[in-house]
Amino acid sequence: MRKIVIACGGTGGHLTPGIALAQSLDEQGEDSWLFISRKMVDSRLSEKYSSLNFVPMPGSALIRTPLGILRFLREFWSSFMKSLSFFKKKKIDAVVVFGGFTSLGPALAARWLGLPVFTHEANRAVGKAVRFIARYSTRLYLPEGMHVNGISSEIISSIGYPLRHDFRRVTRERARKRLGFSITDKLLVVFGGSQGASALNQWLKKNLSTIASEGISTYCITGMDKESPGVVSLATEEGHSVKCKFVSFSDEINYVLSAADLVISRAGAGSIAEIISCRVPSILIPYPFAAENHQQLNASFLENKGGCVVCKQEKVAEELIKEVREMMFNEELRGIIRRNLFALDAGDVGGRIARDIKECLNKSSDRETKRLRLLKVFA
């Protein structure tokens, strides 16, 4: 039985694939611990998985101000030292990192101790932390068709984004019943990832009456601390009532997406993987200030595969409502997109990563055994 640390957290896009991998490792008889941040989104999501081992760790994103740099260095050093202590105490065999500010301290601690490091980059632009860690990684998992300069192709594996085992597409009837919407409603879902998106929330509030008047119900995940949750009933042009529901957070996003006729979302890798898994047509609005412009790259790749429509942030006010009408009432178009999403589904990514990690560790163990035998022969 191997002992593996998974450094993830900070956002749902980093934490959920870590949870998925931990579940797969557990299925395959391996022990794992998840290093997460101390942010509310991490603690909220981790509460659902009491069978997994979560370890809150210090860490801070790098903000390029004197105070921000000092805080980053302080938190990094604390994370590095706590990781060293944990790895020694638990006799850890390998470390898996999913990028972000929670990864650097554990990755360098693993490097210091000579432990194998496995690195996963979910987005179609490799972040600074991942580029740094990739130089000494045993394996670098990247999206389809990507590479990193200076990294051997033998190290890189195109593997996809692992989804939690409990994330499963469900029937529309079951999903609508769970959310409290009629099976006959047209349902628009709006969400900006695990932390919400204020711009999408504001767009929906501004256009809510227009959307409802056309018989479209809405379900909006606003993000914690961004908007007040609640339910509003509005009338269609024919006088029927439609429901508009606002929630701050959902840990059952598979039900939310399975219930939707159409989704408006940011373009993080995690959101896209969930959209693909649930086969739901979407309009993606990349966050324009995302690091390395990765959301635009993510969205453009999916659009080129026929899996979504992209609307840039600066075009939202004038174009988004038109796109919603076009897609919501064009069943043929949504059917084509659903078929394209089916072809893009990567399947059990977590299981494949877990098996690959075990295979790499077994090969490393075999090489060490052979080396020791040679030393004994020539001793």
Read off the pLDDT of residues 90-113 as tens digits, 9 standing for 90 and up. 999 999 999 878 899 999 999 999
Place of tokens 């227009």: 210
Q: Residue 378: is its pLDDT beyond 50?
A: no
Per-residue pLDDT band for 64 (boundaries 50, 70, 90) equals confident
Q: Residue 220: is its pLDDT beyond 90?
A: yes
Using one digit for the tens of pLDDT, what is the confidence trace for 8-18?
988 878 899 99
Other Cβ atoms within 10 Å of 299 Cβ, number: 28
Place of tokens 């877990």: 354
Q: What per-residue confidence (pLDDT) applies to 196?
A: 52
Instruction: Using alpha carbons, select from 135, 327, 318 the residue that is nearest to residue 216.
Output: 327
Residue 112 and residue 124: Cα distance in Å, rounded? 29
Instruction: Using alpha carbons, select from 223, 222, 187 the residue that is nearest to residue 205.
Output: 222
Place of tokens 């990094």: 76
Angle between helices 331-344 and 269-278 (to 10 degrees): 110
230 contacts: CB under 8 Å, gap ≥ 6: 245, 246
Residue 19 and residue 26: Cα distance in Å, rounded? 11
Are 22 and 34 in contact, with CB atoms under 8 Å apart?
A: yes
Give, for 254, the enclosing helix (H) or strand (E): helix 253-259
Residue 330 and residue 377: Cα distance in Å, rounded? 74
Sign of torsion, CA 311 15 258 122? positive
**Residue-level length of the chain:** 379
Per-residue pLDDT band for 372 (boundaries 50, 70, 90) equals very low
Q: What per-residue confidence (pLDDT) applies to 373?
A: 52
Section 239-243 average pLDDT: 83
CA distances to 100, 158, 259, 265 from 143, rounded to whole Å, are 17, 5, 27, 20
Phi then psi for residue 164, to 5 deg, are -55, 150
Lowest mean pLDDT segment, chosen from 23-32, 127-136, 207-216, 217-226:
217-226
Token digits for 308? 């979504």
Using one digit for the tens of pLDDT, what is the confidence trace for 270-292?
999 999 999 999 999 999 988 88
Token digits for 135? 């130089």
Section 183-211 average pLDDT: 86
In order of their start, the domains of the chain are 3-161+347-362 (3.40.50.2000), 172-344 (3.40.50.2000)
- For the chain, give the mean pLDDT: 90
Pairing mode, if any, of strands 94-97 and 117-120? parallel
Q: Residue 364: is its pLDDT beyond 80?
A: no
Q: Residue 181: is its pLDDT beyond 90?
A: yes
Using only C-alpha atoms, the chain has a radius of gyration, in whole angstroms, of 22
Section 357-367 average pLDDT: 83
Are 277 and 298 in contact, with CB atoms under 8 Å apart?
A: no
Pairing mode, if any, of strands 31-36 and 230-235? unpaired
Q: Residue 162: is its pLDDT beyond 70?
A: yes
Q: Residue 225: is its pLDDT beyond 80?
A: no
Instruction: Using alpha carbons, select from 215, 248, 221 the residue that is nearest to residue 234.
Output: 215
Q: What per-residue confidence (pLDDT) applies to 4?
A: 98
Residue 337 and residue 360: Cα distance in Å, rounded? 37
Token digits for 139? 């394996």
Pairing mode, if any, of strands 262-265 and 186-191? parallel
Q: Residue 41: is its pLDDT beyond 60?
A: yes
